Amino acid sequence: MLAIGLMSGTSLDGIDAALIETDGERQAKPVAFRGEPYSDTARSQLAAATALALTFDRPRASPDLVAAGELIDRTHAFAVHKLLREAGVAAADVAAIGYHGQTVAHRPDRGWTWQIGDGAVLAKATGITVVSDFRSADVAAGGQGAPLLPVYHGALAAGLDLPVAVLNLGGVANITFIGADGGLIAFDTGPANGLIDSWIEAETGARYDEGGALAAAGRVDQAVLTGMLDHAFFDLAPPKSLDRNDFTIQPARGLAAADGAATLTAFTAASVNEAIDRLPARPRRLIVAGGGRHNPTMLRMIAERTGLVPEPSDALGWNGDAMEAEGFAYMAARTLKGLPISFPGTTGVAAAMTGGVVSQP
């Protein structure tokens, strides 16, 4: 079937929209992809909604969150229409949209996760069946609700010399270990680009450390780094997951801009190394997706810490920018076929389970 996947990550940079042909099992063929950046106004609105959501003890309606949800629905509908037009594909030929929505708070320790965006609204706006709310069922069953991409990583890695690890460096980093038998283990490793982006914006006004240039010019403050690694999250056994806001840039306050960038980049690398040490076997390859693969300073620090050579996913023919969106298209196909998307080794749920809410146009 043809399926569209939509992903708007915690970095709030924009929407990734991918069209793939898939059976939801062994086959996943990319057809088209586009990135749709958010305007500065939209980014500010979503950041404010996220900050507000984190003050709540549970998801609930508020005017600002409702308005942010409407923004998410509207921008995602535009992204779908643009993708279809560029691909020359009719909406009637698409079986499903996998609609992740925008995470505003992720609190599996409290029994909930919150993604704004209404699948029924998107189904009406596009005329396509929508699968949304992928994480809630897993969290309600005692799982972490994240990461969900491992099932897609496993499909992509079919045919590789196993075991391998796939490292996604988004706002938060997560790793998928695909064992020699194809079994999946996955968990969040810690912050990836999120803290660095926040530091760069606060210190320079830019949105991110382009090419890792500022970090490359700085010196890692070992005392700050050691203090940041002394966080309760790193003592938890996987599976485990994070909200982007579980860590802050506060420990780096007072450092020079370059030194803070270097220290926070080293923090990402050190947390990746800690995660790899927890894997059941040494991966033969470390394949890297997400925006962090474009940061050579981060990749160099990861290589120095782990002794593994990070390989950008694009070298294998995988589009590292499209991977998460493709994954939700793949999971939408699995949901329509009644196949599981989360597993004991990936989210900690007791048994493999399906997920997602289906909305018909």
Q: Into how many domains does the chain fold?
A: 2
Examine the domain organization and report whether 60 and 172 are in the same domain: no
Judgement on whether residues 53 and 17 belong to the same structural domain of the protein: yes
> What three-state secondary structure class fits 39?
coil
**Residue 231's pLDDT band (boundaries 50, 70, 90)?**
very high
Query: Is 30 in the same domain as 95?
Result: yes
Spatial strand order in the sheet of 286-289:
184-191, 172-178, 164-169, 286-289, 310-312
Residues 22 and 38 in one domain: yes
Same domain, 109 and 181: no
Amino acid 94: pLDDT: 98
Q: How high is the pLDDT of residue 183?
A: 95
Residue 342 sits in the same domain as residue 302: no
Which comes out higher in pLDDT, residue 336 or 26? 336
Task: Decide if 31 contacts 2 (C-beta within 8 A).
Answer: yes
What CATH number did the domain enclosing 338 receive? 3.30.420.40
128 and 16 within one domain: yes
* Residue 349: inside a domain: yes
Q: Same domain for 233 and 114? A: no
Write down the pLDDT at residue 10: 80
Q: What's 237's DSSP letter?
A: P
pLDDT tens-digit series, residues 94-119: 999 999 999 999 999 999 999 999 99
Residue 316 in any domain: the answer is no
Supply the pLDDT for residue 77: 98
What is the average per-residue pLDDT within 179-200? 96
Mean pLDDT along residues 30-52: 96
Give yes or no: residues 141 and 225 share one domain: no
Q: Is the pLDDT of residue 93 over 90?
A: yes
pLDDT at 242 over 90: no
The answer as to whether 315 is a domain residue is no
Please give the mean pLDDT across all residues of the chain. Answer: 96
Query: With 90 as the cut, is the pLDDT of residue 90 above it?
Result: yes
Give domain status of residue 52, yes or no.
yes
Identify the band that residue 9 occupies on the pLDDT scale cut at 50, 70 and 90: confident
Decide if pLDDT at 243 tops 90.
no
| Judgement on whether residues 255 and 353 belong to the same structural domain of the protein | no
Mean predicted confidence (pLDDT) in 194-213: 96
266 pLDDT above the threshold of 80: yes
Asked if residue 144 has pLDDT above 80, the reply is: yes
Q: For residue 55, tell me if it sits in a domain.
A: yes
CA distances from 335 to 25, 32, 95 (A): 11, 21, 12
Residues 253, 136 share a domain: no
Q: What pLDDT band is residue 343 in, cutting at 50, 70 and 90? A: very high
pTM of the model: 0.92
| Residue 150: closest CA among 341, 353, 354 | 341
* Local confidence band at 11 (pLDDT 50, 70, 90 cut-offs): confident
Exposure pattern of 250-269 as b/e (b: 16+ CB <10 Å)? ebbeebebbbbbbbbbbbbb
| Distance (Å, whole) CA 357 – CA 347 | 18
Residue 28, in any domain of the structure: yes
Encode pLDDT of 154-179 as tens digits. 999 988 999 999 999 988 999 999 99
Range of the domain at 245: 150-308
pLDDT attached to residue 236: 93
**Residues sharing a CB contact under 8 Å with residue 158, sequence separation 6 or more, in sequence order:** 26, 182
pLDDT at 96: 98
Within a domain: residue 232? yes
**Domain assignment of residue 314, yes or no:** no
- pLDDT above 80 (res 244): no
Same domain, 155 and 286: yes
